Amino acid sequence: MMNRIRQRIRQRIRLASLVPLTLLFVANGCQDEPNSTASTAKTATAGHGIAAPLAARIDGEPIPLEEIERSAGWRLHRARLDVHLILERETERLIDERLLEQHASERGIAVAALLEEVASDVAPVTDPEIDQYLAEHPTDASIDAARPRIRHYLEERRRIERRLALIDRLRDEAQIETYLEAPTRPRIELDLDGAPTRGQSDAPITVVQFADLSRDESARSTRELSQLERAFPGRLRIVHRSLPRERDEIGLLTAQLAAAAAQQDRFWALRDQLTQTSGVRERTELEAIATSLNIDVSVSHLGGDRKTLSAVQRDLKVAHRAGVRRAPTLFVNGRYFMGLDGYEALRALVLEELDDVDRAD
């Protein structure tokens, strides 16, 4: 019961940071119905006489809405998830409100009176409880008039817990059915053109990794990906896209060095070298690694090199179109995977994909 109460307190606090309601323009996506966002779109006749919704035409040539949705799939999915969260929280709020109204009506009092009664039936906060709180939060002791503020906070928290406990009891006694369904994760079609690739083109699993090879997080994710290759020999194709942080000079130089290495068929040697350690932090380290791997490039001159900058910009464009915001991010056969979720979670996703492939065969 206490865990449920704590969770609901945290939910109440998070309500203040809801995504703006302007995202409701994709609310229909919460039902996850095909082409539900295109109810008013123009259509063109596809195969078998089926009308396919259009996004646009160029000189009479149609651009199917499906093509646009594939391109913006992950961004649309995130927006639909935000809308689903808003609708889910609002539904929960209304359920709580209706349950309180019903309970108050059964007792012949108003909801305000019911809540006042619940709040008044709270034991006062004692001085030892305040002492315990200060011991657990010593920095709060420096605040002026700390004890009265802490007393008020603890009393208010106790009142909230009492109210939530009442609502939980009413929920347990009621028959509640909810019908909102979270949108399913789409498979994203990613542009792989020009990206460094390792593995057979017909491998059953393609993993696209957006990584910043100058950062510890991406280095750890890449080591896990190498472990995965060893666990499933011959079954994975690995594709790399660079995603340096904005205004990170070393990150950009590392991405440019990776592009230069790819142009000289030395990318995977560089990648493996960079990820053996905790990441690169100095320009001189990059220069030393490039020399040791016989990569014919001067790191000091990379900043103005248009060819490698263009390659990095292409990777950033692919990341932006896919809705990828930070590294490391992976897509396993088009399915999103947060690169910090760990090896076991990644392995489980790969096994799930392999099961699907084996069943299809």
CATH topology of domain 197-360: Glutaredoxin (3.40.30)
- Which two tokens mark 237? 């194709």
Res 49: pLDDT:
52
What is the longest distance spanned by two Cα atoms in the chain? 85
Task: State the Cα–Cα distance between residues 77 and 346, nearest whole angstrom.
Answer: 20
Instruction: Determine the residue type at 251.
Output: G
Alpha helices in 145-194 (DSSP H): 146-173
Res 75: pLDDT:
81
- Asked if 302 contacts 253 with a C-beta cutoff of 8 angstroms, the reply is yes
pLDDT tens-digit profile, the chain (361 residues)? 444 544 554 455 444 333 333 333 333 433 333 334 434 456 555 554 556 799 999 999 999 888 887 777 778 888 898 999 999 999 999 999 999 999 999 999 999 999 999 988 888 999 999 989 888 888 877 766 788 889 999 999 999 999 999 999 999 999 999 999 988 878 888 999 999 999 999 999 999 999 999 999 999 999 999 999 999 999 999 999 999 999 999 999 999 999 999 999 999 999 999 988 766 678 889 999 999 999 999 988 888 899 999 999 999 999 988 889 899 999 999 998 988 899 999 999 999 999 988 887 7
174-205: string of b/e by CB count within 10 Å (b at 16+)?
eeeeeeeeebeebebebeeeebbbbbeeeebb
Q: Which of 168, 155, 158, 160 is nearest to 115 (CA)?
A: 160
Residue 210 main-chain phi, psi, to 5 deg: -95, 115
Torsion of CA 302, 304, 307, 310, to 10 degrees: 110
- Which two tokens mark 133? 């709180």
Res 231: pLDDT:
96
- Which two tokens mark 218? 């991406």
- Asked if 115 contacts 163 with a C-beta cutoff of 8 angstroms, the reply is yes
Q: Are strands 236-242 and 205-211 parallel, antiparallel or unpaired?
A: parallel
3-state secondary structure of 45: strand
CA distances from 344 to 176, 230, 327, 358 (A): 36, 14, 19, 21
Task: State the Cα–Cα distance between residues 112 and 118, nearest whole angstrom.
Answer: 10
Task: State the Cα–Cα distance between residues 102 and 234, nearest whole angstrom.
Answer: 62
- Location of each CATH 3.40.30.10 domain in the chain: 197-360
Strands (E) in the chain, as ranges, are 43-45, 51-58, 61-64, 197-198, 205-211, 236-242, 329-332, 335-338
Order of strands, sheet of 197-198, starting from the edge strand that comes earlier in the sequence: 197-198, 236-242, 205-211, 329-332, 335-338
What pLDDT digit, counting tens, does each position of 309-336 carry? 999 999 999 998 888 989 999 999 999 8
CA distances from 230 to 180, 208, 236, 285 (A): 41, 17, 10, 28
Q: Which of 163, 186, 234, 164 is nearest to 75 (CA)?
A: 186
Task: State the Cα–Cα distance between residues 116 and 295, nearest whole angstrom.
Answer: 74
Exposure on the CB side of residue 295, measured as CA atoms within 13 A = 29
